[in-house]
Amino acid sequence: MLLIRPIVASDFSALKQIAVESGHGFTSLPNNDELLLGKIEKAEASFSADVSAPGNQSYLFVLEDTETNQVVGIAGIEAAVGMSVPLHHYHLGTIKNHSPSLDVNKSIQTLTFCNDYTGATEVCTLFVREKYRKGNAGQLMSRVRFLFMANHPERFSNTVIAEMRGVSDAQGRSPFWAWLEEHFFGIDFPTADYLVGIGDKTFISELMPKHPIYVSLLSQDAQAVIGQVHNKTAPALRLLEKEGFQFRGYVDLFDAGPTVEISLNNIRSVSQSKSCKVKIAEASGEQSFFICNDLVKDFRAMSTAQASYDIDSNTLTLSPNIATALLLKTGDNVRFLCL
């Protein structure tokens, strides 16, 4: 059985292993013990806090194989980004020039340094270990965050974003960063990526060009990866696109990976999920469900076919073992998605 729950201190070793396996470009999980412990502590505090508006909260969920007690995946939500540490992007825009005397029209793409997503909620840190990527584990990890947000909208912003990892090779070399490194920074991509991951972003404001960059001046390799995702990130992007997330021209400063966005209420897993009461009895059917309780600190979620929904009574019947895993009893509130 695969169960999703909030991260706790005893998950540190598993989190560290995931940080190693996720590789270069996975900025939200730096391979640094102190920072990983800090992320767990912050998540535990966020799940325990009484919150009426989004702030400096960070929620980390783990996917646990209950048969082996192993943590095999992780997913996160940052309630409001850019409030304490600036969140910068490049915005891909177009300047249109026209010469009436020559009857020439010329469109020039530019990259403009900005912090337009300050205060937005960010879904992040989605990673499932390779052995568990078959089936719907990745989909469950991605969508369960939206069920949590649907239950507790006061904790999150109306604008929800996701920064997708851009193109880099097995050694961590990014074609986009290679151009920036040569002309502005003088440090390689893994170093820049690590500094951002540990929260040291001062070098960005010190060295990043403040004026718009003409895309045509970049190397052909750098131009080719603007708005493109790492091959390991493509499945995560497809899941978000199915939820309705769209690319609005914002890309990462370092690898030019796309940032996608949506309004909270327009997320398909939010708008299509249902909230109802629980009845506990033996249940099974051909349909599978993503199901979660409505708790915060004791949040639990899973995928199961041991459930049935009665539309007339607006009741979800769950088998006893599933209800126990989700910390539910008859009459409790539950949120679910039909698959």
The CATH number of the domain holding residue 302 is 2.40.40.20
Residue with the larger pLDDT of the pair 202 and 90: 90
The CATH number of the domain holding residue 51 is 3.40.630.30
Q: Cα–Cα distance between 270 and 263 in angstroms, integer?
A: 10
Same structural domain for residues 279 and 264? no
Q: What is the pTM of this model?
A: 0.89
Same structural domain for residues 205 and 315? no
Q: 210, 238, 269 — which closes off a domain?
A: 269
Q: Over 90: is that where the pLDDT of 325 sits?
A: yes
pLDDT at 24: 59
Report yes or no on 47 lying in a domain.
yes
Same structural domain for residues 287 and 220? no
Q: Cα–Cα distance between 177 and 180 in angstroms, integer?
A: 5
| Tokens found for residue 258 | 């796309």
Report yes or no on 12 lying in a domain.
yes
Decide: helix, strand or coil at residue 290.
Answer: strand
For the chain, what is the domain count? 2
Same structural domain for residues 305 and 242? no
Q: What are phi and psi of 294, to 5 degrees?
A: -105, 20
Packing angle between helix 33-48 and helix 12-22, nearest 10 degrees? 120
Q: Give the residue from 179, 206, 177 showing the smallest Cα distance to 192.
A: 177
Same structural domain for residues 299 and 188? no
Q: Cα–Cα distance between 185 and 172 in angstroms, integer?
A: 16
Q: C-alpha angle with apex 90: 85 to 96, nearest 5 degrees?
A: 150
Residue with the larger pLDDT of the pair 211 and 268: 268
List C-alpha distances in Å: 97 to 102, 106, 158, 212.
12, 5, 36, 16
Taking only the tens place, the pLDDT of each residue in 199-249 is 666 777 676 777 899 999 999 999 999 999 998 889 889 999 999 999 999
Please name the residues in contact with 99: beta carbons below 8 A apart, sequence gap of 6 or more.
Answer: none
Q: Over 80: is that where the pLDDT of 257 sits?
A: yes
Same structural domain for residues 250 and 279? no
Binned at pLDDT 50, 70 and 90, residue 197 comes out as low
Same structural domain for residues 283 and 301? yes
Q: 223, 253, 269 — which closes off a domain?
A: 269
Decide: helix, strand or coil at residue 281.
Answer: coil
Percentage with pLDDT > 70 across the chain: 96
Taking only the tens place, the pLDDT of each residue in 141-171 is 999 999 999 999 999 999 999 999 899 887 7
Same structural domain for residues 175 and 38? yes
| Tokens found for residue 155 | 């904790």
pLDDT at 130: 85
Cα 146 → chain centroid: 10
Pairing of strands 213-214, 333-338: unpaired
Establish whether 230 is a catalytic residue: yes
Residue at token pair 């769950």: 318
Q: 253, 269, 285 — which closes off a domain?
A: 269
Q: Of 24, 88, 89, 230, which residue is the catalytic one?
A: 230
Same structural domain for residues 136 and 251? yes
1 near 58, Cβ under 8 Å? Answer: no
With 0-12 CB in 10 A as exposed, 13-18 as middle and 19+ as buried, what is 106? exposed
| Tokens found for residue 251 | 């890309």
Q: Over 60: is that where the pLDDT of 25 sits?
A: no
Q: How many CB atoms lie within 10 A of CB 318?
A: 28
Amino acid letter, residue 33: D
Same structural domain for residues 192 and 295? no
Query: Which structural domain range is residue 305 located in?
Result: 273-338
Same structural domain for residues 242 and 320? no
327 near 298, Cβ under 8 Å? Answer: yes
